[in-house]
Amino acid sequence: MYKLIAWGTFVMALLAALAYILMGMGVIHPGNLDDGSRPSFFYLIPAGYILMGVLVFFKWRWIRFASAALVALTIIVFYTKYAGQPDVMWSAPGLITKISQVLMLAGLIYLIVKSRPVKNPDVK
């Protein structure tokens, strides 16, 4: 089950990255943004999600904690920034990214809870 969740988390990270790449290219549109421009994070976030997806397979708990914190922060910022714009929140890109991020966060939390801390052989 552990490997299945790790692969699922990886796939969710790639799905979120793909959605941001498609938004950055203008293929899919996240509703009517107030300022009318595409934010610069459409180009930076995909790289972060791809990196987080790859790092899921490393057994370092601190990386998983950091990844979970970043994903949670992304979700919180989205819902606070676009709370008054339902066309952005309920757009296809908004739903794709948030559903994949919530599932990724759930996978990261599972992996954090189920992973065993590495024992230091010098400490008794």
The string of pLDDT tens digits covering residues 6-38 is 999 999 999 999 988 888 887 887 777 655 556
User: Is 90 inside any structural domain?
Assistant: yes
User: Is 57 inside any structural domain?
Assistant: yes
Q: How many domains does the chain have?
A: 1
Query: Per residue in 31-67, pLDDT tens?
Result: 776 555 566 666 788 888 999 999 999 888 889 999 9
By residue range, what is the domain housing residue 24?
2-28+40-114
Neighbouring CB atoms inside 10 A of 120's CB total 7
User: Is 54 inside any structural domain?
Assistant: yes
- Is residue 52 within 8 Å of 11, Cβ to Cβ? no
Please report the pLDDT score of residue 79 as a whole number: 87
- Is residue 17 within 8 Å of 45, Cβ to Cβ? yes
Coil, helix or strand at residue 30:
coil
Q: What is the pTM of this model?
A: 0.81
